Amino acid sequence: MSEGRFVPGDAAGGFTVIAPCGAGAFGQVYLVRDAAGRIAALKVLSPDRRGGRELDGLLRFRRAEHPNLLHVGDLFTLPDGRVCYTMDAADNAAENVADYVPDTLARRLRERGAIPADELKRIMLELVSGLAALHRAHLLHRDIKPENILFVDGRATLADAGAVGEFDGTTLVGTPEYLPPEVCLQTRAFRATDDCYALGKVLYSALTGEPPRRFPSTPRSLDGEAVALFRVAERACTPPGVSAYTFRELLEHPERSAPRRNRRRIAFAAAVILSGMAVAAAVYPKTPKRVSPDPVRVEHPAAVKPAQTPSVPVSVPTPEPGPETPRRLRAESEAFVQKMKADEARLRAEQERIKSPTVRPVGQGRRDANDPTLAELMNKYRRTPEEERLVDRWLAEYVSFDRRIAAANSAGDKMLAAELAAERSAKFPWGIDDFCDDEIRTRKYLDTLTRSCTPAKREQLETVLRYRRDSLRKLLEKLPSSELAKWR
């Protein structure tokens, strides 16, 4: 070891150094091998304040465990006082272990320029799954970029815990090219949707081969699935942004990147047109097609024989429609309308029956004696009335902002939409807006589970109820009393 740096063959805390991987402001990284022959990465933190900041982020990062988050192993101190920790080593992009080259997304972009749409979609689904796990632990990555995306055993992994912070963190960290303008200008604090903004910029750069500063310009060569992925990136980088769950849904179903209101209008218009066509077909049946007379056959003049007796044309009068025709049409129309009303009444009655508390959910008769009922589960994880009132106030304000922002986007007023988004961020600090977004999705999911509470879904229902209760209590623990006083 020379000048605090390790060379191949040195021993560091029970590990043998194979090769250096790189160095940065927070410390040096080495490829090492333990006594059992396993390969890992060893990072030696800087002894100054920057190393202490990464250590704080590292301790937070270890709270979230996911296959697409870099696994952090041992944490120990060297004899000279420097702090080290081990983590998963990225796949080797070189053929020889001694010439170790970590396989990162940045390296792939440098070598290939752009990544095919099908491969990129798989990579982004893996990354957004790891990001969702990080957000579930109430943590923000705050520095997502191609250099911090590693490939471990072939899967995409989020790395670099130096900038990881809590939901209420206000420190400006990260790479400016992957940060929203309002965060760079420090007009608001960093929030969970900004991680998805950075991931959208990564998606754009990997898809087009362009640097993130060129967003949203796109080459003309995009087609097929690449166009759908570009729309997902555009949606993630447009205020008010998306959550990690929405990002994953857009990747799985790119057609949902279009405005939801337009899709509803198209579906409603199609339903109205089809209903009108059905009524018209019943009220006005098709008129019988007139049969045209046989064409007159004209023979050659020499072959025409003089007629013996001139033919007299006979006109056959068309029978007048009798009085029973309009009566029959009116009866058919009334019968069709009555059938539609009866079907609608039966549908409404079935909906009310399903919503009735006296209806036993499907599979309840096969419930084990030790399994709790639906009512027992709801009472076990029920929030207090004061907590419910607080959440209802948050949701009322959140939905109001959401509708005004959607109206501004539909009208094409991007400036007004950005101002409303900034106002909502100021109105909901400390991650309340992310909680409201999660609460809306959780309520829809609970509604689906409670309608068919089978034994197979009962455990899933209990998990959702516990998460819904605990997420609110964790948020209330972090909120200062002055913030709670404004809503109570």
| pLDDT tens, position by position, 18-65 | 888 877 667 888 889 888 888 899 988 877 766 777 777 788 888 888
Asked if residue 119 lies in contact with residue 55, where contact means CB atoms within 8 angstroms, the answer is no
Instruction: Count the alpha carbons within 13 Å of 468 in the hemisphere toward its beta carbon.
Output: 25
Q: What CATH code is assigned to 11-87?
A: 3.30.200.20
Statement: residue 266 has pLDDT above 70: no
Tokens at residue 181, please? Answer: 């303008």
Dmax over Cα atoms in the chain, in whole Å?
133
Tokens at residue 446, please? Answer: 């609970």
Tell me what pLDDT residue 301 has.
47
| pLDDT tens, position by position, 138-174 | 899 989 999 999 999 999 999 988 788 887 655 667 8
* Encoded amino acid at 125, one letter: L
The rounded mean pLDDT for the chain is 77
CA 419 to chain centroid: 24
Least confident among 111-115, 255-259, 293-297: 293-297
**Omega of the bond leading into 293 within 30 degrees of 0 (cis):** no
Q: What CATH code is assigned to 105-257?
A: 1.10.510.10
| pLDDT tens, position by position, 359-403 | 544 444 444 444 566 667 777 878 888 888 888 888 888 888 888
Please state the φ and ψ torsions of residue 285, each to the nearest 5 degrees.
-70, 165
Q: Based on the number of CB atoms within 10 Å of its own CB, is 300 exposed (0-12), middle (13-18) or buried (19 or more)?
A: exposed
Q: Based on the number of CB atoms within 10 Å of its own CB, is 272 exposed (0-12), middle (13-18) or buried (19 or more)?
A: exposed
In the chain, domain spans: 11-87, 105-257, 364-487
Domains 11-87 and 105-257 agree in fold: no
Stated pTM of the model: 0.53
